[in-house]
Amino acid sequence: MNCKNCNNEINSKFCPNCGQPSNLKRIDGHYIIHEIEHVLHFERGILYTIKELITNPGQNVKNYLTENRNRLVKPIIFIIVTSLIYSICNSFFHFEDTYTNKLDNNNSASSAISKWIQGHYGYANIIMAIFIALWSKLFFRKYKFNIFEILILLCFVMGMGMLFLSVFGIIQSLTNINLILIASTFCFAYTTWSIGQFYEKGKIVNYVKAFFVYLLGMLTFYITATLIGKTIDFITKY
């Protein structure tokens, strides 16, 4: 028989050309459970990825890029799953309400954008990663990582930020203790540490650069959002 994927001749259970099974198993309950176990597997799944990103984030992401891409969950899947976890936690505990209720209630575009950012940290952080990656490319240009490789790093780091914010948000909702400043400081410190470690963890100057990379990335993101809002307000006014 011929492979249904590449049309190569098959004489075994798998195609020697593309690896496609000669007979695909039906999707049933066992298949779904297997796929869930595969994602959550502690040795190669999301739990293992979280553990590795907590203990040694920069080095593990570098190893993912240069040595082994099978040990960690794929970065896009990771940030999607962690953002989903964040959204589910917020839907139950409503910790984002603490941020959005502090914003004014006018109907300007600037206010609407500000409310959207404050109320959707998960999506906003993904967009912010682009700004951080551009500054990182500028500050660490001698390391020759391209913009896409830097974005892979930030997918992992921002994904962990979503998990940290979820934990702080749940604690805040259960205890009624305002943890916004603590959560923001912790995530800032973790991201700075991860970026500095990614480039070369033995150099203190890299952590200083990482601090400014993250700071400038956030500032340019918020400045850009503000300018977009002001521009829309100006156009609609006149």
Domain definitions of the chain by residue range: 1-40, 57-237
Residues 71-94, mean pLDDT to the nearest whole number = 84
Q: Tell me: pLDDT of 98 over 60.
A: no
Quickly state the pLDDT bin for 234 (edges 50, 70, 90): confident
Q: What percent of the chain has pLDDT over 90?
A: 37
* pLDDT tens per residue, range 208-217: 999 999 999 9
pLDDT band at 74 (very low <50, low <70, confident <90, very high): confident
pLDDT digits (tens, 9 = 90+) for 110-159: 778 877 776 676 678 788 899 999 999 999 999 989 999 999 999 999 99
Please compute the mean of the pLDDT values over residues 177-199 and round it to a whole number: 91
Q: What is the mean pLDDT of residues 182-192?
A: 92
Kindly report the average pLDDT of the chain as a whole number: 84
101 or 28: which carries more pLDDT confidence? 28
The predicted-structure confidence for 34-44, as pLDDT tens digits, reads as follows 766 665 554 56
Q: What is the pLDDT of residue 204?
A: 92
Average pLDDT over residues 64-89: 86
From residue 3, alpha-carbon distances to 17, 25, 31, 184 in Å are 9, 15, 22, 52
Mean pLDDT throughout 54-79? Answer: 89
Output the DSSP codes for 12-71. Answer: SSB-TTT--BSSPPP--HHHHHHHHHHHH-TTTSHHHHHHHHHHSHHHHHHHHHHT-SSS
Give residue for tokens 């967009």: 127
Q: What is the pTM of this model?
A: 0.77
State phi, psi for 14 to the nearest 5 degrees: -130, 150
If pLDDT is split at 50, 70 and 90, which confidence band does 105 have?
low
